[in-house]
Structures are given as C-alpha cells and as structure tokens.
Amino acid sequence: MDNYISYKIPTYYITTILYGDTTALSTREEIKVDHFLEEIGEGVKGKLVFPENIVADESYFSMDNDVTGNVGADVVDAKFVTY
C-alpha cells in the first residue's frame, strides 16, 4: 500500500460506506457520506480500506473527522488506496 491517503472516518458511518446500509442515518447524514465518497473518488480513483478489527482495537475519540468536519466522534483511520 504505497499510494494511499489516510482519513479519519466516524465508526457509525462504516456500515454505510462498506455495505451501503443507510438505515441508521438521517437523510442529512446520508448526503454527507455520499458527498465525501464522491469527493475522494471512492470506486473510481481508489478504495477505502479499513483495519480488520475496526471498533474493538482501532477506534479512538477525535474532535474532528474527514466526513463531517469538526464534530467529535469515535473514529478509525481508513486508508484510501489509489488505483
């Protein structure tokens, strides 16, 4: 994984990003996730790769994240691997 960009992703958006399951999100949150994925080029320019044991071992609290900006949340560091 030489060519990647690291992003802080809130843990509550991971299911939406990986599986497209938006049942737990508001319409506003869905729009934010979709905008973020479009902006980084998910599926077109590369792919987000998450740690294997996302919540238990790899998550931490951060005052900001790359999906919603400066909203505190538990996040994981995902790597956007370019094609």
The per-residue pLDDT for range 49-67, each reduced to its tens digit, is 998 766 567 889 999 999 9
Quick one: 10 exposed, middle or buried, by C-beta within 10 A (0-12, 13-18, 19+)?
buried
- Going by DSSP bridges, is the β-strand pair 60-62/73-82 parallel, antiparallel, or unpaired? antiparallel
Domain that holds residue 55: 4-82
Q: Are 82 and 3 in contact (CB under 8 A)?
A: yes
CA distance 56 to 47: 23
How much is the average pLDDT of 9-13? 92
Q: Say how many domains are in the chain.
A: 1
Contacts of 33 (CB under 8 A, 6+ apart): 13, 16, 17, 22, 25, 67
Predicted pLDDT at 56: 64
Is the pLDDT at 76 greater than 60? The verdict is yes
Average pLDDT over residues 22-32: 94
- pLDDT surpasses 80 at 32: yes
